[in-house]
Chain A
Amino acid sequence: MIRQERMQIVRHKQLAENIFELTCIGQLVSEMKEPGQFVHVRVSDSYEPLLRRPISIASIDRETLEFTMIYRADGRGTTLLSRKQVGEELDVLGPLGHGFPLHHDEKGSTVLLVGGGIGVPPLYELSKRLNENGIQTIHVLGFLTESVVFYEEKFRALGETIVCTIDGSRGTKGFVTDAIEVLPANFQTYYACGPTPMLRALQHQMPTIPGFLSFEERMGCGIGACFACVCKTESLPDKEYVKICSDGPVFPAGVISL
């Protein structure tokens, strides 16, 4: 069930250049069930900025009722968010959308998780849950440059982790697709979140492997009412378009027209 709650900020720190990790506590966490869902955050009590910000959920602890989001402060809204202090309240609406499937792969199988930049965070909760289900995870995490790399060790604790940067300042030089090119193809499924060109490249690179892709698009309401974040579909006979916020953000590879 979607709830709106003023949640308390319990931790907030900078992880990398303009990348922040923010943890909130509240009853809303008990509704968070699927990795890959997101929340819609109001960063100001005034009308400036007006709209909420969609931010993916990076990890969920339903026992302590805490959840963590990781965001990049690069606009007015997220910069304001980065100034919030521990102890302050945050207006959070969520959980929103449909996340990654947890029962697509059998116990003992190996899957590939591919993240690009600020698309990396939701893969962390996904990887934790897959590992809990006895599924091995290989992570390929792509960043622009060394200064924006985050969570490398956390992913390494869950499985083989390859970090790549466009400029080669850390890990493998190049795109995630370059790193995947040289991976032994021993994974059954791939799960990915990142910019659309990256998702398009992955779909093209692995046409025969089942994949689940998490998309982003500019949103108004976040719940499916405003029709701002629609995408044309490729393979759904009865649906010409889907809404990223409420039908997604995760779709099987091949569904969205890329």
Chain B
Amino acid sequence: MNRLSVSLPGLELKNPIMPASGCFGFGREYANLYDLSLLGSIMIKATTFETRLGNPTPRVAETSSGMLNAIGLQNPGLQKVLTEELPFLAQYDIPIIANVAGTLTEDYVEVAKHISAAPNVHALELNISCPNVKCGGITFGTDPVVAAELTAAVKEVSSVPVYVKLSPNVTDITTIAKAVEEAGADGITMINTLLGMRVDERTGKPVLANKTGGLSGPSVKPVAIRMVYEVRQAVSIPIIGMGGVASTQDVIDFMSVGADAVAVGTANFVDPFICPTIIEELPDYLDALGVAHISELVGRAHR
């Protein structure tokens, strides 16, 4: 019996661990370090219709137990992802979750239509929560009506299940979660980064060229845990949880509050082998908890 297997819309995962979008590129770099087939899935870097060069540097700044980034969705564009990146990943036995971004609804729809047809893309992750781009991104994710409309438009053209990535930068995340569920979302991924800022101690000026950036890393975990807990009570579709996951215990915590699977983001930068390490450690954790299958952990906090 595979004690770690997880079944989600479009995704038969051998384990619930996957690198989060934006923290793993298109997998090529980590493929030099370990066999990607070990992973449950990979949430590939956001893909936009056109090539994007992202924001000026510096694009990252360290904070207390966290990191601010303002990469700005740099990616080679839909065509190159379809012809170069996804075929590269096809050599691995792994379902891919393609993160889709855009400026206008039509951009999202166009990318979703084509990328969902790629043979190894098994689900989409709708990026309505990137805080680092002027248009699109978070502007779609903070208004329940707009988020629902976009979800419905993408659902119409996508040939695979659609997960919507929620922003924590809202007053009530459950409102957005419910709106996208009603609009037909097959699942929710959460959370994206928290909008933050750091000033240089010597100059008093912002460190990031973009001035503000998205906060990630262990410092955001309590916020993410609280939000997954709240959203689990508000919707019935699956949740892939993330936000500061850096250890096996963190994975258990996210599943306990209601995540069906868990993504690892910034921790990949600290320890590039963190995903395979967690996957290897999980069975011992299950033994210690007296649990036969990992799914038994999901939602313990609500019982």
- A contact residues around B268 at 8 Å (CB): 221, 225
Main secondary structure of the interface of B (DSSP, over half): loop
Q: Which residue of A lies closest to B61 (CB)?
A: A218
B132 to chain A, nearest CB (A): 11
Q: Which residue of B lies closest to A231 (CB)?
A: B57
- B contact residues around A246 at 8 Å (CB): 29
- A contact residues around B32 at 8 Å (CB): 1-2, 223
Tally of contacts, chain A with chain B, CB under 8 A: 102
Contact of B64 among A48, A220, A224, A241 (CB under 8 A): A48
Q: Which residue of B lies closest to A240 (CB)?
A: B53
B31 to chain A, nearest CB (A): 10
Q: Which of A42-56 contact B (CB under 8 A)?
A: 42, 47-52
- Whether a CB of chain A sits under 8 angstroms from the CB of B54 is yes
Contact of A218 among B30, B58, B219 (CB under 8 A): B58
Also in contact, A47 and B59, with CB within 8 A (given A2-B33, A225-B25): no
Q: Which of A1, A49, A50, A240 has the most chain B CB atoms closer than 10 A to its own CB?
A: A50
Contact of A228 among B33, B69, B219 (CB under 8 A): B69
Is A50 in contact with B273, judged by CB distance below 8 angstroms?
no
Beta-carbon contacts of A213-225 to B below 8 Å, as 1s and 0s?
Answer: 0000111111111
- Whether a CB of chain A sits under 8 angstroms from the CB of B156 is no
Is A4 in contact with B272, judged by CB distance below 8 angstroms?
yes
- Whether a CB of chain A sits under 8 angstroms from the CB of B133 is no
Contact of B62 among A49, A224, A225, A240 (CB under 8 A): A49
Also in contact, A52 and B270, with CB within 8 A (given A2-B32, A217-B57): yes
Is B67 in contact with A218, judged by CB distance below 8 angstroms?
no
- Whether a CB of chain A sits under 8 angstroms from the CB of B142 is no
- B contact residues around A232 at 8 Å (CB): 53
- A contact residues around B65 at 8 Å (CB): 47-48, 50
Interface size class of B (residues with CB under 8 A): 35 or more
Q: Which of A225, A231, A232 has the most chain B CB atoms closer than 10 A to its own CB?
A: A225
- A contact residues around B61 at 8 Å (CB): 218
Beta-carbon contacts of B34-75 to A below 8 Å, as 1s and 0s?
Answer: 000000000001000001011001111111111101010010
A220 to B22, CA, bound (A): 11
Is A220 in contact with B69, judged by CB distance below 8 angstroms?
yes
Q: Which of A1-47 contact B (CB under 8 A)?
A: 1-2, 4, 42, 47
Interface size class of A (residues with CB under 8 A): 20 to 34
Also in contact, A50 and B29, with CB within 8 A (given A4-B273, A220-B67, A228-B60): no
Is B269 in contact with A227, judged by CB distance below 8 angstroms?
no
- A contact residues around B272 at 8 Å (CB): 4, 93, 221, 223
- Whether a CB of chain B sits under 8 angstroms from the CB of A230 is yes
A41 to B60, CA, bound (A): 17
Beta-carbon contacts of B65-100 to A below 8 Å, as 1s and 0s?
Answer: 111010100100000000000000000000000000
Is A50 in contact with B74, judged by CB distance below 8 angstroms?
no
- Whether a CB of chain A sits under 8 angstroms from the CB of B218 is yes
The 4 A-B pairs at the shortest CB distance, nearest first, are namely: A225-B25, A47-B65, A228-B60, A221-B269
Interface residues of A (CB under 8 A from B): 1-2, 4, 42, 47-52, 93, 217-232, 240-241, 246
Additional 8 contacts, C-beta under 8 A, given A226-B269, A228-B71, A241-B53 = A47-B65, A50-B266, A51-B270, A218-B61, A220-B269, A223-B30, A226-B23, A228-B60
Interface residues of B (CB under 8 A from A): 22-25, 28-30, 32-33, 45, 51, 53-54, 57-67, 69, 71, 74, 217-219, 246, 266, 268-273
CB pairs A–B below 8 angstroms (26 shown): A4-B272, A47-B270, A50-B67, A50-B270, A217-B58, A218-B57, A218-B58, A218-B59, A218-B60, A219-B60, A220-B67, A220-B69, A220-B266, A220-B269, A221-B23, A221-B268, A221-B269, A223-B29, A223-B272, A224-B29, A225-B23, A225-B25, A226-B23, A227-B25, A227-B74, A230-B53
